[in-house]
């Protein structure tokens, strides 16, 4: 990719990202070209200024307390880095929904190196139980600083960047599907969504519900497919060989909606690497481990195994450790793993609330933009998410109802070729979901 191609893309509003490959190539070029890096900085500063001006010109529902306001004014910017907008999006939307501008406007993040494979507990002898020692260190990543300047005449004017101009309207109900892909670093094959959660918001009652569904639930794909699959495979069939995350998310959304008997408004998709990055970039999370967990065959990124061990009690987890805690299941089962995934999501939200309440608006925009850009896919645009974040500060996460669809809602059996499945009791599932989503 040549400099003129890079500058043409930057002027058109395209920014570096991990996917698709063209955006990765853009990032590689910028990382090694001081002139193009400096040009990217010019665009980012102007876009951020315009977005902040537009956001602050509109009303914000939640009003910070005097102590929060004082804390905001005394803090400097949070460093630019790479959400889980996962729960920030949903829980913040419990207050107001802002209509969506036609084009996303926001600060894009620089490319960060691929996170290293998870190492926690390590390989050990069968009679040794190595302890996971979470690291609270935030691994900051950034592109090299520019060593050259750009002539003013060569800098495209970013004044054509559209600004958000939405007006607020009340949200009646909102349901979001949150999918965690079983995709290891470097893999490009169609992936299954082994983490399957549904977040429902009802602002009229200022309540929310979070539901986990098992990956082995046997469900029907839409009629044009004409067959049934395990629930975690719906995303894979939609994504196909073209790595089309949007198509995968849409087929998963349709399948989940039919299964739970409720409309689903939005989808968020993330991967192992992205989750590690998101947790690390908010400085880690606090998780209260309810019981001791020992797994002698935790699957590593290279398809090997390792031992992991968690003791009960509150623990600070970095991204790698939080991922292990979310994925391990050999000590119990997939239903308990779903509950741990809920716990990690709520811990992420609690940490984000702390950061947002202590940061100023510019720092919040930087943080949320960076987290947003790590996601594999989401059907919600960045300006909408930013407005939701500015209004979420007084939401109380302890009021969230939590449910796990387990063997109370179906029974274990197998397919004709011997694959393990859970045959769902759809009326029971749909009745319970309807009760939660009132």
Per-residue pLDDT of the chain (438 residues; tens, 9 = 90+): 788 788 878 877 787 765 566 676 777 788 778 778 877 877 776 666 666 555 555 444 433 334 443 333 333 333 333 333 433 434 343 333 333 333 333 333 333 344 333 333 333 333 333 343 433 333 333 333 333 333 333 433 333 334 334 444 544 578 999 999 999 998 989 999 999 999 987 766 667 899 999 999 999 999 999 999 999 999 999 999 888 999 999 999 999 999 999 999 999 999 999 999 999 999 999 999 999 999 999 999 998 999 999 999 999 999 999 999 999 999 999 999 999 999 999 999 889 888 988 888 788 888 888 999 999 999 988 887 776 666 556 677 778 899 999 999 999 999 999 999 999 999 999 999 999 998
Distance CA 397, CA 358 (A): 18
* pLDDT for res 300: 93
The β-bridge relationship of strands 168-169 and 207-212 is unpaired
* pLDDT for res 126: 34
* pLDDT for res 389: 66
Burial of residue 405 (CB within 10 Å: 0-12, 13-18, 19+) is: buried
Query: Has domain 3-135+164-436 been given CATH number 3.90.1150.10?
Result: no
Give DSSP secondary structure letters for 131-193: PP----------PPPP-S---GGGS--GGG-------EE----EEEEEEEE---TT--S---E
CB 346 within 8 A of CB 69: no
Q: pTM for this structure?
A: 0.65
204-262 residue pLDDT tens: 666 789 999 999 999 999 999 999 999 999 999 999 988 899 999 999 999 999 999 99
Distance CA 253, CA 380 (A): 14
Q: How far is CA 47 from CA 11, 52, 53, 246, in A?
A: 12, 8, 10, 26
160-177 residue pLDDT tens: 334 334 444 544 578 999
Distance CA 190, CA 397 (A): 34
């Amino acid at each position: 990719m040549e400099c003129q191609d890079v500058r043409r893309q930057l002027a058109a509003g395209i920014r570096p990202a991990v996917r698709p490959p063209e955006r990765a190539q853009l990032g590689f070029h910028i990382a090694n070209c001081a002139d193009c890096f400096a040009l990217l900085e010019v665009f980012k500063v102007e876009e951020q200024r315009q977005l902040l001006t537009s956001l602050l010109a509109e009303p914000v529902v939640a009003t910070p307390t005097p102590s929060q306001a004082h804390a905001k004014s005394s803090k400097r910017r949070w460093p630019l880095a790479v959400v889980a907008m996962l729960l920030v999006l949903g829980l913040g939307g419990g207050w107001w929904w802002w209509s969506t501008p036609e084009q996303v406007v926001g600060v894009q993040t620089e490319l960060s190196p691929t996170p290293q494979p998870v190492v926690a507990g390590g390989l050990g002898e069968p009679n040794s139980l190595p302890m996971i020692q979470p690291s609270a260190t935030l691994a900051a990543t950034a592109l090299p600083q520019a060593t050259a300047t750009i002539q003013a005449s060569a800098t495209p004017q970013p004044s054509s960047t559209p600004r958000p101009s939405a007006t607020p309207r009340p949200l009646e109900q909102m349901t979001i599907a949150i999918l965690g892909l079983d995709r290891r670093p470097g893999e490009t094959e169609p992936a299954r969504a082994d983490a399957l959660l549904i977040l429902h918001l009802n602002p009229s009652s200022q309540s929310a519900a979070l539901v986990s569904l098992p990956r082995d639930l046997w469900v029907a794909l839409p009629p044009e497919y004409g067959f049934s699959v395990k629930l975690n495979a719906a995303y894979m069939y939609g994504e196909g060989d073209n790595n089309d995350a949007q198509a995968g998310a849409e087929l998963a959304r349709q399948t989940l909606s039919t299964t739970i008997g409720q409309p689903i408004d939005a989808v968020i998709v993330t991967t192992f690497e992205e989750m590690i990055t998101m947790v690390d970039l908010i400085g880690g999370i606090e998780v209260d481990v309810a019981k001791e967990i020992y797994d002698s065959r935790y699957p590593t990124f290279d398809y090997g195994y390792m031992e992991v061990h968690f003791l009960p009690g509150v623990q600070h987890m970095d991204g790698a450790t939080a991922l292990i805690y979310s994925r391990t299941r050999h000590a119990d089962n997939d239903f308990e793993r779903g509950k741990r995934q809920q716990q990690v999501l709520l811990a992420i939200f609690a940490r984000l609330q702390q950061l947002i309440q202590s940061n100023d608006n510019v720092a919040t925009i930087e943080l949320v933009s960076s987290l947003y850009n790590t996601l594999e896919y989401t059907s919600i645009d960045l300006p909408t998410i930013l407005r939701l974040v500015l209004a979420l500060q007084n939401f109380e996460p302890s009021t969230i109802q939590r449910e796990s669809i387990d063997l109370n809602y179906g029974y274990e059996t197998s397919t004709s070729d011997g694959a393990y499945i859970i045959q769902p009791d759809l009326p029971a599932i749909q009745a319970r979901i309807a009760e939660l989503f009132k």
